[in-house]
Chains A and B, each alone.
Chain A
Amino acid sequence: MRELICICCPRGCRLTVDDDLNVTGNFCPRGVAYGKSEVTNPTRVVTSTVRIEGSDLAMCPVKTSEPIKKGNIFKCMEEINKIHLVAPVHIGDVIIHNVCGEEGIDVIATRNMEKL
């Protein structure tokens, strides 16, 4: 059994999800969906930065193109921390393909970093 706070709206319902994935404590149906997915396969978008050379700033912001498995967050950071970019880089440029081995999920640039 897990206790969760629903993040679908500001109400912040305190959900309880039992072992059979029955959700209680929800005010609306969105809570049920959230509770189930949060217990079975919680995922998060990871946002971070990578080192970049030749632009105004030392760091280029990046994100995972889709939410990755919550358990992969720190592994994802390890992969991100190794990357070194050279300007220019543009929003959407793929920095890492299939991050943490998650098929179809890339780490992409989120800021246009022009060459100085």
Chain B
Amino acid sequence: MWKYFIRRLLQVPPVIFIITLMIFGLVYIAGDPVLMMLPADATPQEIQQLRHALGFDQPFYIQFGNYIMDLLRGDFGDSYQYGEPALSLVLERLPATLELATASMIVAIIIAIPLGIWSAIKPNTFIDLFATGFSVLGKAIPNFWLGIMLILIFAVNLHILPVSGTGTWWHLVLPSITLGTAMSAEITRLVRSNMLEIMSQDFIRTARSKGLTSFIVIFKHAFRNSLVPVITITFLQAAALVGGSLITEMIFAWPGLGQLIIQAVYEKDLPIIQAAVFVTALMIILINLLTDVLYRILDPRIKFN
């Protein structure tokens, strides 16, 4: 098992190195950030002066060389927009993003698993129709619309929840429902189809014929066996969330990574983009590792090799 871990961890540096190269190249092609840093009426001389002062008039290989040397020392550089170390700006926003991602996952699981199981044990009933309809809707409703509607209903009209920002647990409710609903759609469908498949297998019939209660049959025998793909998809979705959810964060003024990254992309703020990608890539690799471990705990037939 340890061998497996070490092998996986050894894959991390080359992956991150390649990502770094690609991003530097892409941002370089997109042009330097000087134009975004100055006001709209800056003169060509002013633009040239700042470009020179910041070293953006250097040839590609020098800029790239300096950049790599800094990176090797663990220095992502200072953000062009904020003039502060990029890595710490990213790390400051990480807790908020993780908080929202965790809460959304919990919301998604709370909705998806009961609904999925329920619709699978009562196939082709109203509940099944409801669950299927719900997951289609959940997937189809745009985040921004759902977010704005939730704000209008619960914050503006009913006054029972805060509109935006962070501070208390209540601030977490609307954004996590917004994100969780979309996530739950896929999980519901997956739980349903897996359960349906497993419920028709021989060992379930055997369990029933032993006289076990249907509760035990469903949760101990069927549900546990249907979990592996469900966990895969849940964690894959969670991995997508650690980079921050752009739209939901914007709507709820949630101070997470998503807002920081999109602003950095608009402003061509390379140090922040790099630091954010680095952190996100690490997180995703970790989550994938965790998923693999969970698999093996749930299904001992899968071996570490």
The judgment on whether A and B are partners is: no
Binding site for A on B (CB under 8 A): none
Chain A residues within CB distance 8 Å of chain B: none
